[in-house]
Amino acid sequence: MHRRTVIAAPFFLALAGCGIPIGKSSEPRLEVSRDYNLRGFAFVAQDGLTVSERENYYPTGDIVWRGDPRGPRVEQIGTMFTEAANRNKAALNGGQPVNVAVTLVRFHGVTNRTRYSIGGVYNVIFDITIMDAASGAVIEPTRRVLGNLDAPGGEKAVQLEEAGQTQKVRVTDFLTRLLSEQLI
């Protein structure tokens, strides 16, 4: 029994690394009155990010996404961020017109291998900057945002999928909440 535990320990320690490194958290928001009216949203990925399509339990790329068919992963992730921003427009109808810029730093979904076995964590890291829509002046300087969303595995993942809670639905809903927390 102890031998199995020792053999499995490195595997589970590697999976634990999919989350935010210990001691890391989002940078604090400025204490300002937010009465934002979201006018523009821009999404880009940081230069040099690598995309992994490997089906390891823990791939080494900066971008891991399986919620869409194989294709332009950065564009697929940008579509989810843009949808999340658009969903927030109704709540962001205040007096200060703003543009929001998001720069993707890391987007770790889970591989199919992980999803259909033990599950994991969607780990999203991005930089956000909030600017005056008219002048372009920075209202809130760039800060780093880190977010984690549980990714159930095995039968629970299948049940969520069958109930319409696909990876794309769950992650887009999560990004909507994450942006809302930063802007409201």
At a CB cut-off of 8 Å and minimum separation 6, what does 49 contact? 61, 62, 63, 74, 104, 105, 106
Q: What is the dihedral of CA 58, 103, 39, 96, to 10 degrees?
A: 110
Record the pTM: 0.82
Q: What is the pLDDT of residues 119-176, one digit of tens each?
A: 888 999 999 999 999 999 999 999 999 999 988 888 888 888 889 889 899 999 999 9
- What is the C-alpha to C-alpha distance for residues 100 and 81, in angstroms, rounded to an integer? 11
Contact criterion met (CB below 8 Å) for 110 and 151: yes
Mean residue pLDDT of the chain comes to 85
Q: What is the pLDDT of residues 71-121, one digit of tens each?
A: 999 999 999 999 999 999 999 999 999 999 999 999 998 887 888 887 888
At a CB cut-off of 8 Å and minimum separation 6, what does 46 contact? 103, 104, 105, 127
